[in-house]
Amino acid sequence: MTGTDTEVGKTIVVAALASLGRGRQSSVAVVKAAQTGVVGSDIGDVQIVGALAGVPPADLYEFARYPDPLAPAAAARLSGLPAVDVAAAAARITMLAEAYRLVIVEGAGGLLVRFDDEGATLADLAHHVRAPVLVVARAGLGTLNATALTLEALAHRGLELSGVVIGSWPAEPDLAARANIRDLETLAARPLAGALPEGAGRLATDAFHAVASAGLGPAYGGSFDAADFRSRHEPTRKGHQ
């Protein structure tokens, strides 16, 4: 799981995937290779996922945490703590995949944010474990360029795209958000994989599961219909009713 930027809704989409996976009676593990901006026992992304999706603490895996809210490489360097070893992380994820039916790995920031000063990235981790990548994008103005760059980087590295999900669909979407739906699908060369409503992260577990089911497509265990979503939100041409 990666995003086109930070704060685009990756953790909420991870929680939605985990909730649907558990709803299908699958064993689910959630992995955060590098958590930044947390200290001591502070709540991190995997704990947020656990609370929303009902994933037990024993199935939540955080490989490293750093106190400064920076990219993992910079956060490790400033803290004096070891950087994430991508090969070792890949080996742990591979072992988890033997024990769980579904393993969800959340990146930090975007696809090419560095884990270490040698330049290892989430793209390298995905390559090591041969995993498809789900991209979480913003809804509004500016998302098309960021999404295009992320998808181009995926293709350049020979990584498989699982789909594109809008991480936070506004309650009152503006013209840019509504017009971007078709363009996001064009960039991905496939229908949207989902769109989660803003505020989903504040819901209780049962209510969140219902939102996850409506917000993610059948490939992930949900009922999201990309064509219906587009028809309800896409703006009409000027001069046409």
Q: Which positions are catalytic?
A: 32
CA–CA gap between residue 51 and residue 58 (Å, rounded): 13
The dihedral of CA 192, 198, 202, 205: what is its sign?
negative
Torsion of Cα atoms, 103 then 106 then 111 then 116, to 10°? -100
CA–CA gap between residue 233 and residue 188 (Å, rounded): 19
Q: Say how many C-beta atoms besides its own lie within 10 A of residue 134's C-beta.
A: 24
CA–CA gap between residue 115 and residue 71 (Å, rounded): 7
Helix or strand or coil: residue 155?
helix
Contact of 170 with 198, CB cutoff 8 Å? yes
Sequence-distant (6+) residues with CB within 8 A of 41 are none
CA–CA gap between residue 166 and residue 200 (Å, rounded): 12
CA distances from 70 to 88, 109, 134, 219 (A): 22, 9, 22, 33
Considering only the C-alpha atoms of the chain, give the largest distance between any 2 of them, rounded to a whole number of Å.
Answer: 61
